[in-house]
Amino acid sequence: MDKQEIYKLLQQVKTGMVTPEEAVLQLKMQPFEELGYAKVDHHRGLRQGVAEVIYGASKTAQQIAGIVASLRSTGQKTVLITRLSAEAADFLVTQQSEFTYYEIARVGIVGKIPKPSVKGKIIIATGGTSDMAVAEEAALTAEALGNEVIRMYDVGVAGLHRVLSKLDVLMQARVVVAVAGMEGALASVVGGLVDCPVIAVPTSVGYGAAFGGLAALLAMLNSCASGVSVVNIDNGFGAGYLASMINQMGEQQI
């Protein structure tokens, strides 16, 4: 049950269509559903503004399908599943009529991606094409949460003219997600160009001394550009989620 449904229920109590006792019963039944292998949090959207997202790794296809069914049963229109294997996606196709699998990002979405609910734009930029999987996870997360996303891929520091040619686009952003492996320099470059928050995402792309993304992580943490924050290695979901929160808060202040 999201905020809009809560308001509707309270309005029904106000008009006498629903008794206070019936309303209390509905609310008591909503917080979570016990499935044995999962406690599905139906009040996540009410508490945090965003409904529960399913982390697909290490879950069976049947478990994921059960959690999806529980979320959909309460009226959740869009269910986001991250780190979803192709095999589990094949099973979900047989269970849900409105299901799309994005193979590069390993993201599944049940229902439709909503139209942007705010005016602000989120830019997702990558150092190279090899960073696209993480970037797409961030982009699809932000889109599923109701944001307009502009993708700006392969604009890394090996050819600075590429990102500099997009300055007019960068300046339109309310928040930029900079995704890069190797030495992770893209976040610092972008941070020195824009007047909005930059979320840096180190990726595990790189040769041996990149240490699976650790070099990029440390470089981003040590960025001398102000306004740069950093999420964990390969955490596209976390970056997309945080970018959405910033974008939504920016809308409230206008």
Quote the CA–CA distance of 105 and 87 in Å, as a whole number: 14
Q: Report the CATH number of the 121-253 domain.
A: 3.40.50.1970
- Chain CA centroid to CA 31, Å: 23
Banded model confidence at residue 2, pLDDT cuts 50, 70, 90: low
Q: What does DSSP say about strands 79-82 and 107-110: parallel, antiparallel, or unpaired?
A: antiparallel
Give the pLDDT of residue 253.
57
pLDDT at 5 over 90: no
Q: Which of 29-33, 50-54, 216-220 has the highest mean pLDDT?
A: 216-220
Question: What's the rounded Cα separation, in Å, for the pair 232 and 204?
Answer: 10
Distance CA 115, CA 220 (A): 32
For the cut 90, the answer to whether the pLDDT of residue 148 exceeds it is yes
Model pTM score: 0.85
Give the pLDDT score at 24. Answer: 75
Q: Where are the domains of the chain?
A: 8-110, 121-253
Non-local (6+) Cβ contacts of 134 within 8 A are: 179, 201, 203, 234, 235, 236
- Kindly report the average pLDDT of the chain as a whole number: 89
Angle between the N-to-C axes of helices 236-253 and 132-144, in degrees from 0 to 180, rounded to the nearest 10: 40
pLDDT digit string, tens, across residues 92-141? 999 888 999 999 999 999 998 989 988 899 999 999 999 999 999 999 99
Contact between 54 and 80 (Cβ < 8 Å): yes
What mean pLDDT is predicted for residues 33-59?
A: 81
Who wins on pLDDT, 232 or 42? 232
Tell me what pLDDT residue 201 has. 98
Q: What pLDDT score was predicted for residue 196?
A: 94
Give the pLDDT mean for 146-162: 92
For residue 1, what pLDDT is reported? 55
Of 44-48, 113-117, 187-191, 233-237, the poorest mean pLDDT is in: 44-48
Place 29 in a pLDDT band, splitting at 50, 70 and 90. Answer: low
The reported pLDDT for the residue numbered 163 is: 86
Query: How many Å apart are CA 250 and CA 119, to the nearest integer?
Result: 9
What is the average pLDDT across 41-68?
A: 86
Q: What integer is the mean pLDDT of 188-201?
A: 95
Cα three-residue angle 127-115-89, rounded to 5 degrees: 65
- Which two tokens mark 21? 């006792």
Go through 46-73 and write b for each residue having 16 or more CB atoms within 10 A of its CB, e for each that does not: beeebbbbbebeebebebbbbbbbbbbe
